[in-house]
Structure 1
Amino acid sequence: MEASDIVISIIFLLQTAVGILGNFFLLYHYLMFYFEGHKLKFTDWILQHLIIANFLTLLCKGVPHTVSAFGLKDFLNDIGCKLSFYLHRIGRGVSISSTCFLSVFQAITISPKASRWAQLKVKSPSYISSCVYMSWVLSLIVNIAVPIYMTARPNNSNITRLRVYLYCYTVHDDKVGDLLNAIFQSVPDVFLMSVMLCSSGYMVCILYKHKQRMKHIHRNNFSFRSSPEIRATKTILLLVSTFVFFYAISCLLQINMSLAHNPTSLLVNMGFIVTASFPTVCPFLVICH
């Protein structure tokens, strides 16, 4: 192995191991709360779905990429390739939607009583819970084409365009179909990230106005940091900003890989490192706040 391959292998191994341990610790924390009879907040319930999505992303891509980076290429059969890529895409889709719903729910929660959002405060948990479950179903449907084109050992006699993804292959022979597939997979991501940005901007405006009003109140009578809603909002804003940063780059890399005739190993490796960054960092952001 070359020095660059060893560095990539170590990065994959550390990123996957740290991400899995962090998400496992956070999941264990919530399970202990549940068995001890503590009442979890609705944001915690959404975070549990986000943790499961993080596990799918890291296990279905992190483990195979790490094994492949250490030199073992043909270790998955056709079913293994199809499942790993399909479950990874499902986890990625649910991760985006869960973060979006988390941002929207918190924006509704801290909205002023006089605003239009105030009417949704009571009904929002039931609406968003239905949307979270629906996101799993939609992610299953939207990514149904992924396992169709994925294979472990392609039939070279029938290949007009071959893309190598380190340990698996995809076969496509239609440029228009590749472009439509890239757009079809990117539109939901762009829409959800746009909703995230709108709800986050709304929360920032509320926090700014709230802080301006509180400047005239003595700190002994009111502490801006004492409100649990404000603390939760700051944590979710941090999660959303981190998410948008990593997944915007990931979305661009994904489009490039979908349109490239034969994506280089550097492009594939960078795509995975960026995609796995948020599932790795996410549990530690939640734990620290």
Structure 2
Amino acid sequence: MLSLKNVYFFQAGIGILANTSLLVFHIIAIHQFPRPRPTDMITCQLAFVHIVMLLTTLDISLADMSKSLGFPNELKCKVLLYMSRVSRGLSISTTCLLSIVQVITISPSSFFLSRFKHKLTKHVAIAFFCICCFSLCSNSNMIIYTVAHSNRTNLFSVSKYCSLISVNSTVRALFLVLMLSQNIFFVGIMLLSSMYMVIFLCSHQRKSEYLHSMSISPRISPAKQATCTVLVLVSFFVIMYCVDIIISSFSFILWKYEPVVLDIQRMVGNIYATVSPLVFISSDKRIVGILKKVLCMCQTVKELMK
């Protein structure tokens, strides 16, 4: 049990560090390069959402911090669980938005969504504002049903300090259906966009083979590389989401949480938030270039200090 918690905290620490680095690198890249990519803003938003999500799951440390600030237990539980649900909702919706924007970016002029290409940055900001409002409203029930631990027996424990008020099976099933329907909608959009990107990559591969047969050296275009990155992230998210939803739905239906199951579910739910920034950093040549410049500067300073 102790080793499982250590792995969980280590995973959250790596995820927070990686997402913070990704956020800083993209802010630098947006200001340094004259033509930022349409996906840069979404990557920054996704990194920030994952930082909030990972921080809220560290409820033990945040609980101690809130106690030192004098916040009541009830308020602490409502804020932590509400922000956790909102950030998880924003994670899936922002990933869905990233896949849609990538489809628009690579689509030809004949594609019906290509008319948004010229003002994509503006539309991304509006879309992110809309999904933020939607996530804040759709998870507002957490404020009502979240309570601190007490001697009551009809509570559903979701953390060491917090619980949910027991509701009848009809209301519980309604909440489950609403949560699954909105998540299935986002996952469905991601799968459709992934199919389009796979078709695009196959078509691009055939063109590359044709150029290679004509002794023209094919190059991997930035659009193709970005498409591969988004495709990997979407595929990985869908797999981890399916595993997470099976565990959480099973526990939600039974209205019972075991501590080990709680830690495992959090680890599974945080895998995407931990791995996605590493994929972004390793696949972005601009970030790799910034890292090389930083290393060269460090080596120069080290040589001057000798």
Q: What is the TM-score of this pair, normalised by structure 2?
A: 0.83
Among 79, 86, 90, the alignment partner of 2:82 is 86
In structure 1, stretches of 5+ residues that fail to align are: 69-74
Q: Which residue of 2 aligns with 1:13?
A: 9
- Check 1:65–1:191 CA distance in 2 against 1; reply closer, same or farther (3 A cut): farther
Cα RMSD after superposing both structures: 2.2
Q: Which residue of 1 aligns with 2:129?
A: 133
What are the residue-to-residue correspondences of 1:151-170 with 2, within 5 Å?
151-154=147-150, 156=152, 159=153, 161-167=154-160, 168-170=162-164
- Check 1:99–1:255 CA distance in 2 against 1; reply closer, same or farther (3 A cut): same
Matched residues in 1 for 2:282 and 2:125: separation? 26
Matched residues in 2 for 1:102 and 1:196: separation? 9
Among 72, 91, 96, the alignment partner of 2:92 is 96
Q: Which residue of 2 aligns with 1:204?
A: 198
Matched residues in 2 for 1:166 and 1:153: separation? 9
Report the alpha carbon displacement of residue 124 of structure 1 after superposing the two structures with TM: 4.1
Matched residues in 2 for 1:244 and 1:148: separation? 30
Matched residues in 2 for 1:216 and 1:34: separation? 35
Q: Mean alpha-carbon deviation: is it higher for 199-208 or for 25-34? A: 25-34
Report the alpha carbon displacement of residue 38 of structure 1 after superposing the two structures with TM: 4.7
Among 183, 188, 193, the alignment partner of 1:189 is 183
Matched residues in 2 for 1:188 and 1:65: separation? 30
Q: Which residue of 2 aligns with 1:45?
A: 41
Matched residues in 1 for 2:45 and 2:127: separation? 12
Counterpart code for 1:162: L
Among 240, 255, 261, the alignment partner of 2:234 is 240
Q: Which residue of 2 aligns with 1:72?
A: none
Q: Mean alpha-carbon deviation: is it higher for 214-223 or for 175-184? A: 214-223
Among 240, 243, 252, the alignment partner of 1:249 is 243
Matched residues in 2 for 1:33 and 1:124: separation? 18
Q: Which residue of 1 aligns with 2:295?
A: none
Contact 1:257 1:268 in 2 (8 A): no
Q: Report whether the alignment pairs 1:280 with 2:294.
A: no
Partner-residue secondary structure (3-state), 1:169: strand
Q: Report whether the alignment pairs 1:149 with 2:145.
A: yes
Among 51, 54, 59, the alignment partner of 1:58 is 54
Q: Which residue of 2 aligns with 1:71?
A: none
Matched residues in 1 for 2:88 and 2:167: separation? 26
- Check 1:254–1:180 CA distance in 2 against 1; reply closer, same or farther (3 A cut): same
Report the alpha carbon displacement of residue 206 of structure 1 after superposing the two structures with TM: 1.2
Contact 2:38 2:120 in 1 (8 A): no
Partner-residue secondary structure (3-state), 2:164: strand
Partner-residue secondary structure (3-state), 2:167: coil
Q: Report whether the alignment pairs 1:223 with 2:218.
A: yes
Contact 2:5 2:263 in 1 (8 A): no
Contact 1:53 1:94 in 2 (8 A): yes
Matched residues in 2 for 1:267 and 1:213: separation? 49
Report the alpha carbon displacement of residue 115 of structure 1 after superposing the two structures with TM: 3.2
Partner-residue secondary structure (3-state), 1:218: helix
Length, aligned pairs only: 274
Report the alpha carbon displacement of residue 222 of structure 1 after superposing the two structures with TM: 4.5
Aligned-pair identity (%) = 27
Counterpart code for 1:201: M
Counterpart code for 1:51: A
Contact 1:165 1:265 in 2 (8 A): no
Contact 1:96 1:192 in 2 (8 A): yes
Matched residues in 2 for 1:81 and 1:155: separation? 16
Matched residues in 1 for 2:89 and 2:108: separation? 31
Contact 1:13 1:66 in 2 (8 A): no
Counterpart code for 2:132: W
In structure 2, stretches of 5+ residues that fail to align are: 64-70, 284-306
